[in-house]
Structure 1
């Protein structure tokens, strides 16, 4: 049986072209990327030890080994953070013993006050599971007719993977799906992530589980929408981490004049106030 840490190391090893690291390409390779012997040599560990890590038989590598693997794989800052996180949860065997429970949906009053200051802009309080916990009227005006906000407990991740309307709304659906699957690893808690992962694994199938286990750190660019009324919208995303609450405040800003004008038309068409869900 593997482990999240081993899966990530193996996936990154397979994705690296030897020539990019100045390694000679000799002989026939059974799989793409680096051989275990090449990665082990770069990290200064034995092939046997690397094999145990990749296969999940060693779940407690030292900090120095984790850092050596990060260097050997030429990981960027976000990938290094993910590697350290996976080493932590793998070492604690959290994923094996997590009891799935939904995340709390409460938002602190001071956060709600901050959100009100952003009216009539587009802003939402969410968590890494994709739960939409509170939002401005501007967010409602733009996303209200897309299906995302249907129901009493809207969730972006569930919407993207299970609602056919998401593929029409999001021209970059593949990239957004990659982001949301990756973020589940950093949910409010392992138990919360396990709760939604179990649901989506059954409802969304391989398109979801393949992304979840790939551990590909996403590149987060502008959010493009093909709005059913507003047309093509491009929104820049600014995210404020509310680390004490395991939540995020996300502000969406028009990236161009055409988007700004379309957003303004949608806001005028739908008047409302702050929406909090708890």
Structure 2
């Protein structure tokens, strides 16, 4: 994934017009947005220094320089953290094996079951792999019926045609999915398994290729997901995403329907008939 920092910075330069930052906009421009020279000028660094940074061959970059560039390019907090990860690639953990099986602690599995009576919940790992889930989450999304290698949110979103009917807000979910993968790529540079995944998705999904090229980065800590379930109909599911202590690459995602809502009643019916819930199998 060499070149990611350059691609990311170029994508963010393209969003900013000269007049947005008080610069004159004279003459025809070969590229949209700010030129590298203009970013360097506004950030208070030399043009050569900024070019080397964008080419991924610069020296260790200070917080002050990264903050200045982030300010010029109007990066939000998630984008700023992503820039830092790209500018200072993390070394692999000692003994780390790419693609190694991600284990979920027994206590986390007990927690999944403890909330399983009314709240679908699952554990999301590296590369958006779904590592564990409770029965109600399975009834909603059919994880257990999927081949083990395809229990992955990105593959599900971009490679299963049925998912577009399952998620009425599919376009938004697709962008969020790519944004999450971009964050993962920044935190784990050179991960061959993630590279294989993105190459597969790029080869099989034009929409993924378009989104990936735009370098979105999104941290979805909470929100509302709408699901059109084939058995019980529309579900409006507020969710919270919690980082698991001691497991920096695992997230606990819990859908919590509002008490007394129609969604809560529909989930209760689904829980009563969990064995009858239709399996949602990837068509890959």
Instruction: With the length of structure 2 as denominator, give the TM-score of the two structures.
Output: 0.80
Question: What is aligned with 1:141?
Answer: 139
Deviation at 1:189, TM superposition (A): 4.2
Relative to structure 1, the CA distance from residue 255 to residue 54 in structure 2 (aligned partners, 3 Å threshold; closer, same or farther) is farther
Indicate if the aligned counterparts of 1:40 and 1:50 stay in contact, CA closer than 8 A.
yes
**3-state SS of paired residue (1:222):** strand
Secondary structure (helix, strand or coil) at the match of 2:246 reads helix
CA distance in 1, matches of 2:59, 2:158: 31
CA change 1:128–1:183 in 2 (3 A) is: farther
TM-score, normalised with respect to structure 1:
0.81
Give the gaps of 5 or more residues in structure 1: 273-278
- 8 Å Cα contact 2:138/2:144 also seen in 1: no
SS of structure 1 residue aligned to 2:148: coil
Matched residue, 1:64: 64
State the match for 1:248 in structure 2.
251
Question: Displacement, 1:60?
Answer: 4.5
* Correspondence 1:203 to 2:213: no
Q: Deviations over 1:68-111 (max 9, x none)?
A: 2112212221111111111122x86x8xxxx9942423111121
**Structure 2 stretches lacking a partner, 5+ long:** 277-284
Deviation of the 1:148 alpha carbon: 8.3
Picking from 261, 265, 276, the partner of 1:261 is 265
Residue 233 in 1 paired to residue 235 in 2? yes
Q: Deviations over 1:115-146 (max 9, x none)?
A: 222121210011141211111111112223xx
CA 1:100–1:218: 2 relative to 1, 3 Å: same
Tell which deviates more after alignment, 195-204 or 133-142: 195-204
CA distance in 2 between counterparts of 1:100 and 1:193 reads 13
Q: Kindly report the root-mean-square deviation, in angstroms, between the aligned alpha carbons of the 2 structures.
A: 2.9
1:25 & 1:128 partners in 2: Cα distance? Answer: 43
Q: Which residue of 1 aligns with 2:280?
A: none
Aligned equivalents of 1:141, 1:244: Cα separation in 2: 29
Q: How does 1:1-278 map to 2 (within 5 A)?
A: 3-58=3-58, 60-89=60-89, 101-120=98-117, 121-144=119-142, 149-153=145-149, 154-185=151-182, 186=184, 189-190=188-189, 191=191, 192-204=193-205, 206-218=206-218, 220=220, 221-242=223-244, 244-245=246-247, 246-254=249-257, 257-271=261-275
- Contact kept in structure 2, 1:102 and 1:195, CA below 8 Å: no
1:37–1:189 Cα change, 3 Å: closer
Tell whether the 8 Å contact from 2:78 to 2:219 is kept in structure 1 after alignment. Answer: no
Question: Cα 1:60–1:212, aligned 2, differ >3 Å: closer, same or farther?
Answer: farther
Q: Give the direction of change, closer, same or farther, for the CA distance of 1:47–1:126 in structure 2 (3 Å limit).
A: same
User: CA 1:149/1:249 → structure 2, altered by over 3 Å: closer, same or farther?
Assistant: farther
Q: Is the 8 A contact 1:123 1:249 kept in 2?
A: yes
Aligned length: 263
Gap change, CA 1:235 and 1:24, over 3 Å in 2: farther
Distance change in 2, residues 1:131/1:173 (3 Å): same
Q: Given the superposition, is the C-alpha separation of residues 23 and 171 from structure 1 closer, same or farther in structure 2, using an over 3 Å criterion?
A: farther
User: Within 2, Cα distance between the matches of 1:211 and 1:87?
Assistant: 22
Contact 2:228 2:234 in 1 (8 A): yes
CA distance 1:189–1:24, change in 2 (3 Å): closer
